[in-house]
Structure 1
Amino acid sequence: MQGIKKRLVGSYLLVIILTVFIMNTFLLVGIRQYYFDNVIDVLEKQAEVAGSFYARYLAYKDLPSEAGVLLDSFSSATAAQVQIISTEGMVLADSQGTPVAEKLSFADIQKALAGELGQWQGNLPVTGEPAMSVAYPLQSGARVVGAVRFVTSLTGIHGVIRNAALILVAVGLLVVFLATAVSVLLSATITGPVEKITRVAEEMAAGRFSARAVKKYDDEVGKLADTLNYMAEEIVRYEQLKNQFIASISHELRTPLTSIKGWAVTLRAGGLENVDEINDGLNIIERESDRLTLLLDELLDFSRLSAGKITLQQDTVHLQELLDSIVKQMNPRARRQGVHLVCETPQDLPSVKADPNRLKQVIINLLDNSLKFTPSGGTVSLSARSGEDHVQITVADTGSGIPHEALPKVKQKFYKETSSAGSGIGLSICDEIVKLHRGHMIIDSSPGQGTEVRLILPLQPNMYLE
């Protein structure tokens, strides 16, 4: 597996090498062109001056007989090789001793004899060294009588270009070396924290959730460390909640089972002769059995919801009838507790598309919580109203309320106040059922002033409420 560090360093090096290569190429081409252009410019100016001098002062003289004089005049002001060429291409005079009467057939000479400035670049026939030449026509009036040619060696310029190339290559290698060092260091600042985070993640995967990733930089890697640490804290928290839930469920199961077993043993022993006492015992057994059934139903619903296996049996629900039936069912308990249970609904309350049994389960669970935490003399109200595209069902009480720090957690799985009874999953189940109906549940509460729970359900089953 190719690591991130290798890929980063390789990518940086590839970009740097390509950049250095392209820049060096352009620089070398530019240097070469600069020197060559300068040489051509100097030779052209010298040739033009020589041609103009001949046309103005010596055009009336015979070129072959005056070739030596012309050569001395033209070569004294230049370091280049000067040649005087006849119209036949023969060398009449040469500042470097080329044999006289030798015929030359270079392109620049032919162009000059045709009356135009000519240029040539190549290797000299005898020495093979690189050279450049410029030839200019010598005219007597409108007639071309010969040409003057300036030739210079390019060996020195090639040496300069070669030295410049060596310097550029050395600088390029230095840049690549420095870029390699910087890329290694830069990649280490990325891969180092990632490797540490990976090791921490491996420790967490092994069950050591106390491990924490160190946030070194405030960037994407730092955010990853924060996210990993947050995940570990949430796992630890849920682990604690799970343990509390198991302990709570064990307690909730033990209490009714103890009562049932105690009365069963008493009834079996036959020590009770009073019918009222026997009925009381049977009533306790019945109530505790119902309590166990309710608790097991909650656990079963929770398991199904967690596995995503609960499906809604949707039907048209007449809210007025549903709420009235729920109030009638809960009224006996409210009267026993001395709590005033009221239902307030408008006559034109619309019907909704919902699962009536699940919706009833949610409302009864909310009323059960309200009755549980509302003291005698208090009030629990169930109300409903319709909006433009939704209905709102509200359960409000004048009970003890929920502490501010606990309010954001009451819908979380396994969360339960230490002093409260129950499994701690009732509100979580209610919230999930409401979400299955494409709605949401809002809880507002103040300690000592009561709690209000609002269920907001869409009128259409495919409508999402934000």
Structure 2
Amino acid sequence: MERPGTMIKKGMRRQIVLHYILVVFVALLLVETTFLLAIRTYYYDSIYTKITTQISAAESMVKYGSLNGTSANQLQGLLELFNLENTELEVLTLKGDIITSSTGFQPDRTITTSDVPEAVGGSTGRWVGRQAGTNESVMAVSKMVRINTHDSYVLRYLSSMEGVNKDLLNLTLLSLAIGVAVLTIVLLLSFGLANSIVRPLNNITAVSAQMAKGKFTTRIKGDYRYEIGELASTLNYMADEIVRSNQIKDDFISSISHELRTPLTSIKGWSETLVSGGYDPEETKLGVGIISRESDRLIGLVEEILDFSKLQQNEMKLSMGQVDIKVLLQETLLNIWAKAEKKRIHLLLECEETIFIKADANRLKQVFLNLVDNAVKFSPEDSSIVLSAERLSGTEMAVTVRDSGIGISEAHLARVRDRFFQVDALNGGTGLGLAISQQIVELHNGKLEMDSELGKGTQVTVILPLDDSQQGNARPSNSPVTS
């Protein structure tokens, strides 16, 4: 269990608790202030309404009746007619001098509070304050009354507000107690809320620190929800990808070491053999040919790695120009023809008469060579590979390489374009060919799509934008060409 000192230290936990408490405190303050003001207004208005109702009822009786006789009789009649229980009634002159009151006392003083001038002005005056002498909280309501059209008096009601104020004070204390109780509950809940956020983050931070030290086998455990759950899943996925990338890198180093060792061994062996001398021209020619072929193979491997490095660093520059797709595909088939002939594989070219695109011819040829070479590598003897090109719309065209080879499983198809990944490591290579091809196609604002079924073959489609001068042209008829 956490100590109190650690629960309020600087950090997200304290920020969450403080903000939560602040919001609830402000809300409670507004609600309670509004509630207490409304209650106070209700109490005060109720007393005022009760007095004014009594005045209205008594005024009606004065209007339809009469208060005759001497002044003393009139004043006594006013006191009896307008008297209100638990309220002192004073009869004043228009100047505010007290003439008489319902209590029987006739203090020799003049009333100067604001309710008297208001009453003399014709309205019902109201004043709340402290009564002189007793310092008691009172409400005074005054009204001018005319008798027999020539006698006018000011009737002033005094009602004590001490009981009301005491009730209001009790309500205020009760409201404060409720507010404190609510804040206490909110404080406890806010700590729970803060812990539900901070603890998973602390766990994620600790695991992330382990990952930063290279321990990528560690994982964030716990069934977290919402954004925190997404963060945990993302970090776990990142660790899985790093582990996979490291494994692929290790496999690549092992594979490339083997790929480099084989031609280097041949070159070194034939070099030493030729240096020793004593061989006839035919053997010498054979050895030099092997050295040349293995050197070309080494150059190809190094160039592939250099191309991938340039693509990764966005340093590959394209030399764009107008390219005739049919010519480019014919050159591709001629370059791969000898390799296909050894396996008795038939290469077929199907292309429209005229399709021009704006591209880097050498880089695009590199893509098609890689695709056709893969098709030859994984196709059985006496099979066929079809290389076709066609317009898809007024703005795009597609080049398709279709074989009837061993195909690719669904699991491998999702990863075959990843760098260093090899479906069959025994066939050699760096595992960079398709990754480089896809990036080159994307540099041309195109797409590389693959469709394969295990045991039935593979189809790779490269979709590229047409040259501006070709966009919108009518589609010419197909002209199959067999190579």
Q: TM-score, normalised on structure 2?
A: 0.88
Deviation at 1:460, TM superposition (A): 4.2
Matches of 1:91 and 1:31 in 2, distance apart? 33
Compared CA separation, residues 142 and 374, structure 1 to 2 (3 A): same
Compared CA separation, residues 55 and 250, structure 1 to 2 (3 A): same
Deviation at 1:249, TM superposition (A): 0.2
Residue 389 of structure 2, aligned match among 381, 384, 389: 384
Deviation at 1:333, TM superposition (A): 2.4
Runs of 4+ in 1 over 6 A off after TM superposition: none
Letter in 2 for 1:25: T
Deviates most, 27-36 or 366-375: 366-375
Residue 17 of structure 2, aligned match among 6, 9, 13: 9
| Correspondence for 1:421 | 428
Matches of 2:450 and 2:107 in 1, distance apart? 115
| Correspondence for 1:262 | 269
> Which string of whole-angstrom CA distances, capped at 9 and with x for unpartnered residues, describes residues 307-338 of structure 1?
11101011111122222222222222222222
Query: Residues 91 and 153 of structure 2 are in contact (CA less than 8 Å); yes or no, is this contact kept in structure 1?
Result: yes
Mapping of 1:179-328 within 5 angstroms?
179-270=186-277, 272-273=279-280, 275-328=281-334
Residue 173 of structure 2, aligned match among 162, 166, 169: 166
Q: Report the number of matched residues.
A: 459
Q: Is 1:447–2:458 an aligned residue pair?
A: no
Residue 143 of structure 1, aligned match among 128, 147, 150: 150
- Unpaired segments ≥5 residues, structure 2: 1-8, 469-483
Residue 357 of structure 2, aligned match among 342, 352, 356: 352
Query: Residues 384 and 403 of structure 2 are in contact (CA less than 8 Å); yes or no, is this contact kept in structure 1?
Result: yes
> Which string of whole-angstrom CA distances, capped at 9 and with x for unpartnered residues, describes residues 398-431 of structure 1?
2222222211111100101233311111111111
Matches of 2:106 and 2:426 in 1, distance apart? 122
Compared CA separation, residues 333 and 155, structure 1 to 2 (3 A): same
> Which string of whole-angstrom CA distances, capped at 9 and with x for unpartnered residues, describes residues 95-121 of structure 1?
335335544344434454566543332
| Correspondence for 1:464 | none
> Which string of whole-angstrom CA distances, capped at 9 and with x for unpartnered residues, describes residues 367-386 of structure 1?
21122122221112222112
Deviation at 1:222, TM superposition (A): 0.5
Deviation at 1:70, TM superposition (A): 5.4
Letter in 1 for 2:322: T
Deviation at 1:124, TM superposition (A): 1.1
Residue 370 of structure 1, aligned match among 372, 375, 379: 375
| Correspondence for 1:64 | 72
| Correspondence for 2:343 | 337
Q: Percent of aligned pairs with the same residue?
A: 36
Letter in 2 for 1:13: I
Cα RMSD over matched residues?
Answer: 2.4
Compared CA separation, residues 101 and 73, structure 1 to 2 (3 A): farther
> Which string of whole-angstrom CA distances, capped at 9 and with x for unpartnered residues, describes residues 100-156 of structure 1?
554434443445456654333222111122211223344323333424332111122
Q: Give 3-state SS (helix, strand or coil) of 2:89's partner.
A: strand
Compared CA separation, residues 68 and 430, structure 1 to 2 (3 A): same
Deviates most, 243-252 or 403-412: 403-412
Q: TM-score, normalised on structure 1?
A: 0.91
Query: Residues 50 and 148 of structure 1 are in contact (CA less than 8 Å); yes or no, is this contact kept in structure 2?
Result: no
Letter in 1 for 2:382: G
Mapping of 1:70-109 within 5 angstroms?
71=79, 75=83, 78-86=85-93, 89-100=96-107, 102-109=109-116
Compared CA separation, residues 411 and 114, structure 1 to 2 (3 A): closer
Deviation at 1:246, TM superposition (A): 0.4
Matches of 2:465 and 2:446 in 1, distance apart? 6
Q: Is 1:405–2:446 an aligned residue pair?
A: no
Q: Give 3-state SS (helix, strand or coil) of 1:214's partner.
A: coil
